[in-house]
Amino acid sequence: MLIAQLSVAGEGDLYPLPPPDDSVDIDQTALDEFLAGQSNLPWVVFRAAHRAANFPALPARARAVLAALARTVDANRPYAAIFARRELLTGRAMQSIRTFYRSLDDLEAAGLVERVPQKRFGTAGLFGRAYLHLTKKSAIVLGYVSHASGTQATGSKSFARQVSAGQPDDFVSSSVEALSPPSPSFNPPCVTMADGAIYKSLFPKNQKRQPGELPADLQRLLSLGFHQFLIFKLMREAKVQAKLLSNVVEATWEHLRNAKRPISYLRALLRSPIDFGHQIRAKQLAAERLAEKNARAASVDATVLQCVGEMFVDSANTRLITVSSTADSISVCNYREARPRVATGQWATAFVAALNAKEIVRATSDQVTAFRLKCDGNHSNQTKTISIAEHAMSRTKTSTINECLNEMKKMLRATCAGVSLDTRDVRTVETARHNLAASR
């Protein structure tokens, strides 16, 4: 459409196009300006940067950083600290941060720079800056130190002339090796603390962030079509609704697994006012009670199996308890009873409780013998008592029969003599007749 073109619509003045991005050519422009001599630098600094850029014993990256340091350091105080940030030095050297640190390692290995360890302020507890310093060797090479004493100054002047005159690399390398490099002074930091507003541990143990893996009880949602990040989102929604997603999934897993749209169903459950945590606690309590009951039953069965075929007596030695060989019943013999009683069914729990309470103990041979003698004595006493009672009953019956016969005789005599008896006497006779018949 022609109406949408800039020439037709006339939108070029009202909405101009954004200017092109020239950030790509900034480094090349800075390099061209520096090489063309457009930088307004003092002669001493320009010469030092030129010597650093043409130093043949160093790699290209180290020469670029050395030239940046030569342009940054104070020419009147070449050994002072270089107040420059990494952004400034990396911009002048046109390198990245990692390449910049490799270049510093090369310069330190050659003995041209010194990296002072980072200091710490004792009062505030913060870390200071780590400054760079030029060594005496680099100051001589760059030409910042012109009045050296002895052979070192002469060698440095001839070395500078050979570098400016373009002598072979062997001569320059031998001259560099003649100057003994100092030992490296940079040590890795010995602490793991940050500086400034983030003065805290770099590896906190209680950092609030999203975990890398799902909880173990929520990983089964992946099989229903849930995505990992969706599950994390549902966890946050459940927290807003004062719920736990784990409780909701645990309480409704069977229905959730069979749902046609489990995602919508789970979100509806999160919005519902049901307390799923109470359901989970009730299920856990029921499971704990069942497990405790099963454990007690197993303990009772194990105790009964240990007592198969053994005999037990109570503390008063009045009962003798014998466990059967099949552990399905017990026989309880009381010394007052002639025959033992057999207990079947739910006897094991009471038996084990009495055994644990020390109400019954395992019977020894002496206790069994004493119980038998006690039973025999009790049986003899019972026999005597029964015989005495039977004799007394027989005497009582005899006297009763004699009385009944006497009353009947009296009535017959009165009847034969024609004498009428009183009503009371008749009743007495009838009662005697009935008693006589019952006794027979």
Cβ atoms of 81 and 132 closer than 8 Å: yes
pLDDT at 436: 56
| Rg of the chain, C-alpha, whole Å | 58
**Residue 430 CA: distances (Å) to CA of 192, 231, 244, 252, 413:** 123, 103, 94, 87, 15
The stretches in the chain having pLDDT less than 70 are 1-28, 30-39, 120-127, 147-211, 378-398, 418-440
The model's pLDDT over 10-21, given as tens digits with 9 standing for 90+, comes to 555 555 556 665
**Distance between CA atoms of 248 and 275, rounded to whole angstroms?**
9
**Distance between CA atoms of 369 and 49, rounded to whole angstroms?**
119
3-state secondary structure of 439: helix
Burial class (CB in 10 A: 0-12, 13-18, 19+), 183: exposed
**Distance between CA atoms of 315 and 127, rounded to whole angstroms?**
82
Residue 134 amino acid letter: L
Backbone torsions φ then ψ of 77, nearest 5 degrees = -130, 75
pLDDT at 178: 42
pLDDT at 316: 80
pLDDT at 171: 39
pLDDT at 328: 85
| DSSP classification of residue 417 | T
User: Which helix H or strand E contains 95, and what residues bound it?
Assistant: none
pLDDT at 177: 46
